[in-house]
Amino acid sequence: MRVESHSSLQLASVHDHALARHGIEKLAGGYAFVLTTGIGQPRTWGFTRTPLQAGFAAGLVEGEAMPAKERVRHAFGVARGRLVTCCNALIEQRVPDASLAALVLLDDTAHVIAAGRVRAYLWRMGEHRRLTPDNEQDPESANGVLRAEPAHSQVALEPRDVLMMGSTTAFSPAAVAKIASVMQADPETPVSILATLMTEPAKASGAGAAAVVVRVR
């Protein structure tokens, strides 16, 4: 299986300062991606996102001999453990948190594991399928990795499949409308254009966003 991917990141605007609320990292030679979003005070965003990204990467390596599903869940567990250690070292009235979504491609199958308000979709033959829970109206979904139970989905991949994963701000109505329009007009739209279209509205609003788009060849 060969894939091409592109990620896009927009900083959030907080009191006229640009801050990285979201982060995205490519792992495993471009066959895994982890996306994080800080929850809580802006000053804590970097403290919570960094251990999650590092922990998930370490967990994937540690679990290399495991079956695919267990390997992905193990990586999530390592990431959560590192975040717990980090938060225990902070002196904050409210314990910060972060959401996490990871896309891992193993054995011609896409695995998505997520906790918090994040989204991932599969675009196939002009139709889309959501790979993360549609729970954003549930107050419990505001919890991140520390309190939320991870949702894990998997789907066998086919040539020309397109996978899109991002923060909720990357799926604003404006972004979704643009993506649908260009994909209907040209299903082979470059992944770099798609990822940029997902985050552009968040740049204008100052909300910040992160997104990654993967096409299977």
CATH code for position 173: 3.60.40.10
- Which residues have C-beta within 8 Å of that of residue 17, sequence separation ≥ 6? none
What's the domain count of the chain?
1
- pTM of the entire predicted model: 0.95
| pLDDT of the residue at 90 | 83
| pLDDT of the residue at 1 | 85
Instruction: Per residue of the chain (217 residues), give pLDDT as tens.
Output: 899 999 999 999 999 999 999 999 999 999 999 999 999 999 999 999 999 999 999 999 999 999 999 999 999 999 999 999 999 988 777 889 999 999 999 999 999 999 999 999 999 999 999 999 987 777 776 889 999 999 999 999 999 999 999 999 999 999 999 999 999 999 999 999 999 999 999 998 999 999 999 999 9
Bridge partners of residue 102, in order along the sequence: 34, 113
pLDDT in tens, 87-123: 998 877 788 999 999 999 999 999 999 999 999 999 9
What b/e readout covers 93-120, taking b as 16+ CB neighbours within 10 angstroms? eeebbbbbbbbbbbeeebbbbbbbbbbb
Domain interval for residue 159: 3-216
Give 123's DSSP letter.
E
Asked if 168 and 119 count as a contact pair (C-beta separation under 8 A), the reply is: yes
Bridge partners of residue 17, in order along the sequence: 14
CA distance 159 to 178: 23
| pLDDT of the residue at 47 | 92
| pLDDT of the residue at 211 | 98
| pLDDT of the residue at 141 | 67
